[in-house]
């Protein structure tokens, strides 16, 4: 088939870069000095052997991170980053991930390498057989597997513009087989650019096999390879599969998945899926960990691989395909064993390939990063710019192990620096980020359906739940949320259920409201627009009001909405109760922006100091907001006789705002354990009267020491159907309440079943399209 021609067809071109990606990345857990960890796999993520994102590979210390399938590289890296965050923060805080494919110093005795303590005895047996065949040391190598599938629209378009093959599945096979054979032939190019295992650490080799540094031990014959007798043909799927069967029959392989080729044809979960359903995608396995990237692989690397695969489809191959593949293996081993600072013996060939790739980009109108080719040529001209070259050069200054430990520590710090954020998704709302973190950690399959809209799909086996904004779920009924949205209706319902709410009336016209002056004039009352939520248009009269002020307040409120409420003002402290499924999980007190004096610093200094808290920031990207020193704050200070250069007495507290919103620099203080049960019961019962499952309900309480049953002990201000969760999880003071985890367990009660029952059920955890095969 003339792929050069059909790839350039106008009906194909728009889809050329459509693809689906996935990454699996292994790393060794080490302590903060870079020694192999002696601890078990973290408990919080060892819920099941088949965690969709974080598993153990061969050994107990070998963490494998697995992204879901994505349709863009951006998404791929977002997930990779996020899963790294979860892995890091699930590990003990004195452990980190080793950034190299070569493991850190291994135990002297091979038996001290601990095989992964999996629950499935089959999985453990398989690992024992690997240990027996290859030795435990070799199994400690780590790398990145890159799963790649051509977009279906692309394959369809290609299929449609050719006439030779009538069957779509067969056509797909041809495509993937050609790419696979060419990849095997040209794999040395990847090894040259991205090989990154030049030197082994102590006890990797039983006896030192290599005297000199190389480009990639892992990709060479000293790495992770089958015995020379293991040979399969890539001439057709049939031949490939029958060769594989033969290898097993002859005892050369225990299972089909033991075939350690640099690229693997994938049909599904089992090799047999290939025969049944054809090729689904391919898995590139010869990618060493990139030590210079936090997540072990760079965006450009993946971009290169994608482009390389298109190029390999375009590029003619040798006539004898088995020979073509065999040559590739030889070339690759040669390149892998070259010195990392040495030019490759295939430099001319490499240059030609790069030129041709650039040509393909041009004729196919592919849009790629501007500097990709510049960068590739640089590496070609200067071997010290390849990954192996860079690592080797760095290591010369101290040792590879020290370099790796330093890098690991930087990554470690980065992952812990903003524990409330989920890297990759920091543009999303904080509560959603935290919920996503917990979902990943709990092994819930996560998909962002609409990023801007904070719309998530969570899935555990066949159980799907959709979540918007962290806590808008299927558990709440529609009309109840509409009730909460409507203050008048909420109050009416709560009042009829016997709860105290501020008495008041709704008005549709200024005239109507003015006529009711006598009803309110002498009591504490509030005038507010009916539906605004941001404090706009609200006037509070704590001691009643004269007619003029009453009139002004009404006019102000009507500017914000077409109907207003005039309500009794209830004195006391406002508490936010977070109620979930009939239980109070957190109670929060919000205090207006303030500083506490030390007798030395000015108010401005104190604000600057308080804003240094890593929990504080701007624009809701942190659990707390910076305290501002704008006109309003200065005015409020002035009202109290202060300026920003005033020095406060020790322990003197000055407020810079009148409202207690967290968004204007207020403090959040967890008081869950201090609030008596009778008030919690009021909150729970009120939420139940509204028939709501997830609710943030605001109670004003004058004195929590007074029983809730006392007359006017409390008043309910409002009920919120999308209550902020992050402020409870990262309060300024007090205990953190991980509400997102409660939400997940509420949505997936099956999570709370014992680990045992999960194992017993046995079915594959989630339907994933790229399936992981460990080891």
Residues at the contact surface with a second copy, assessed by CB under 8 A: 13-15, 367, 449-450, 452-453, 455, 465-468, 472-483, 486, 488-489, 492-493, 508, 515-516, 518-519, 562-563, 691, 721
| Closer to a second copy by Cβ: residue 14 or 599 | 14
CB of 301 to a second copy, least distance (A): 23
CB of 336 to a second copy, least distance (A): 39
| Closer to a second copy by Cβ: residue 105 or 512 | 512
| Closer to a second copy by Cβ: residue 505 or 604 | 505
Cβ atoms of residues 187 and 195 within 8 Å? no
| Closer to a second copy by Cβ: residue 18 or 738 | 18
Computed on alpha carbons and rounded to an integer, the radius of gyration of the chain in Å comes to 32
Task: Give the residue among 116, 105, 199, 142 at the shortest CA–CA distance from 28.
Answer: 142
Q: Which residues is 457 bridged to in the sheet?
A: 447, 466
| Closer to a second copy by Cβ: residue 45 or 695 | 695
Collapsed DSSP state (helix, strand, coil) of residue 486: coil
Cβ atoms of residues 159 and 252 within 8 Å? no
| Closer to a second copy by Cβ: residue 86 or 747 | 747
Instruction: Report the Cα 226 to chain-centroid distance in Å.
Output: 35
HSE on the CB side for 382, CA within 13 Å?
A: 7
Burial class (CB in 10 A: 0-12, 13-18, 19+), 276: exposed
| Closer to a second copy by Cβ: residue 438 or 476 | 476
CB of 368 to a second copy, least distance (A): 13
Task: Give the residue among 761, 84, 22, 165 at the shortest CA–CA distance from 440.
Answer: 84
Measured CA to CA, the distance from residue 62 to residue 55 in angstroms comes to 8
CB of 18 to a second copy, least distance (A): 9
Measured CA to CA, the distance from residue 479 to residue 690 in angstroms comes to 10
CB of 490 to a second copy, least distance (A): 10
Residue with token string 């066949």: 462
| Closer to a second copy by Cβ: residue 41 or 487 | 487
| Closer to a second copy by Cβ: residue 568 or 598 | 568
Measured CA to CA, the distance from residue 695 to residue 683 in angstroms comes to 10
Instruction: Report the Cα 755 to chain-centroid distance in Å.
Output: 24
CB of 34 to a second copy, least distance (A): 42
HSE on the CB side for 640, CA within 13 Å?
A: 19
Residues contacting 688, CB < 8 A, separation 6+: 582
| Closer to a second copy by Cβ: residue 88 or 507 | 507
* Structural element, H or E, at residue 635: helix 631-639
Task: Give the residue among 580, 607, 720, 604 at the shortest CA–CA distance from 667.
Answer: 607
**Phi/psi-derived region of residue 296, left when phi > 0, alpha when psi is between -120 and 50, beta in every other case:** left
CB of 479 to a second copy, least distance (A): 5
CB of 165 to a second copy, least distance (A): 21
CB of 493 to a second copy, least distance (A): 8
Collapsed DSSP state (helix, strand, coil) of residue 763: coil
CB of 706 to a second copy, least distance (A): 23
């Amino acid at each position: 088939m003339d792929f050069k021609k059909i790839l350039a067809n106008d009906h194909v071109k728009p889809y050329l870069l459509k693809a689906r990606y996935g990454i699996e990345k292994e790393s060794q857990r080490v302590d903060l000095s870079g020694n192999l960890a002696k601890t078990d796999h973290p408990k919080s993520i060892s819920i099941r052997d088949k965690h969709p994102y974080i598993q153990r590979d061969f050994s107990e210390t070998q963490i494998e991170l697995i992204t879901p399938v994505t349709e863009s590289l951006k998404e791929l890296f977002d997930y990779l980053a996020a899963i790294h965050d979860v892995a890091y923060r699930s590990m003990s805080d004195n452990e980190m991930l080793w950034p190299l494919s070569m493991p850190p110093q291994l135990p002297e005795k091979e038996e001290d390498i601990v095989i992964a303590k999996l629950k499935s005895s089959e999985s453990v047996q398989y690992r024992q057989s690997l240990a027996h065949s290859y030795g435990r040391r070799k199994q400690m190598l780590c790398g990145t597997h890159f799963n790649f599938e051509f977009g279906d629209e692309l394959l369809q378009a290609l299929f449609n513009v050719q006439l030779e093959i009538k069957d779509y599945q067969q056509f797909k096979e041809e495509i993937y087989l050609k790419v696979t054979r060419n990849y095997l032939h040209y794999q040395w190019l990847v090894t040259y650019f991205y090989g990154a295992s030049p030197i082994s650490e102590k006890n990797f080799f039983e006896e030192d096999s290599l005297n000199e540094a190389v480009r990639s031990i892992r990709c060479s014959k000293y790495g992770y390879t089958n015995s020379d007798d293991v040979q399969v043909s890539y001439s057709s799927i049939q031949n490939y599969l029958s060769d594989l069967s033969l290898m097993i029959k002859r005892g050369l392989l225990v299972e089909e998945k033991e075939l350690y080729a640099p690229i693997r044809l994938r049909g599904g979960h089992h090799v047999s899926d290939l025969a049944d359903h054809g090729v689904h995608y391919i898995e590139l396995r010869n990618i060493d960990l990139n030590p210079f990237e936090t997540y072990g692989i760079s965006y450009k690397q993946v971009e290169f691989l994608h482009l390389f695969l298109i190029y390999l489809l375009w590029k003619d191959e040798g006539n004898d395909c088995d020979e073509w593949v065999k040559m590739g293996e030889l070339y690759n081993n040669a390149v892998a064993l070259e010195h990392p600072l040495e030019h490759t013996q295939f430099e001319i060939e490499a240059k030609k390939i790069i030129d041709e790739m650039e040509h393909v980009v041009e004729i196919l109108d592919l849009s790629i990063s501007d500097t990709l080719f510049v960068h590739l040529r640089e590496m070609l001209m200067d071997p010290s710019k390849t990954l192996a070259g860079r690592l080797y050069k760095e290591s010369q200054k101290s040792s590879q192990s020290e370099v790796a430990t330093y890098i690991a520590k930087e990554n470690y710090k980065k992952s812990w620096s903003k524990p409330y954020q989920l890297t990759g998704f920091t543009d999303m709302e904080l509560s959603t980020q935290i919920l996503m973190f917990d979902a990943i950690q709990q092994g819930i399959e996560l998909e962002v359906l609409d990023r801007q809209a904070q719309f998530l799909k969570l899935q555990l086996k066949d159980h799907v739940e959709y979540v918007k904004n962290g806590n808008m779920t299927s558990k709440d009924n529609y009309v109840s949320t509409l009730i909460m949205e409507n203050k008048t209706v909420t109050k009416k319902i709560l009042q009829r259920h016997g709860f105290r709410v501020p008495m008041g009336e709704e008005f549709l016209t200024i005239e109507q409201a003015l006529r009711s002056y006598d009803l309110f004039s002498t009591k504490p009352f509030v005038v507010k627009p009916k539906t605004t939520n941001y404090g706009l248009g609200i006037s509070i009269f704590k001691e009643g009001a004269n007619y003029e002020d009453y009139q002004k307040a009404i006019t102000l409120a009507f500017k914000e909405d077409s109907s207003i409420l005039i309500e009794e003002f209830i004195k006391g402290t406002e508490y936010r109760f977070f109620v979930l499924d009939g239980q109070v999980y957190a109670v929060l007190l919000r205090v207006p922006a303030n500083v506490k004096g030390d007798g030395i610093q000015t108010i401005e200094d104190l604000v600057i100091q308080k804003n240094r808290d890593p929990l504080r920031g701007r624009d809701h990207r942190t659990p707390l907001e910076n305290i501002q020193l704008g006109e309003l704050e200065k005015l409020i200070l002035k009202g109290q006789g202060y300026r920003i250069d005033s020095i406060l007495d020790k322990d003197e507290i000055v407020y810079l705002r009148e409202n207690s919103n967290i968004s204007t620099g207020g403090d959040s203080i967890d008081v869950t354990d201090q609030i008596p049960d009778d008030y919690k019961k009021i909150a729970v019962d009120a939420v139940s009267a509204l028939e709501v499952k997830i609710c943030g309900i605001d109670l004003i309480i004058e004195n929590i020491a007074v029983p809730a049953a006392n007359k006017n002990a409390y008043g309910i201000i409002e009920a919120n159907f999308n209550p902020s969760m992050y402020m409870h999880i990262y309060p300024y003071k007090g205990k953190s309440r991980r509400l997102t985890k409660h939400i997940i367990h509420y949505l997936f009660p099956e999570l709370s079943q014992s680990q045992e029952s999960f194992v017993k059920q046995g079915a594959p955890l989630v339907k994933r399209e790229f399936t992981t095969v460990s080891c």
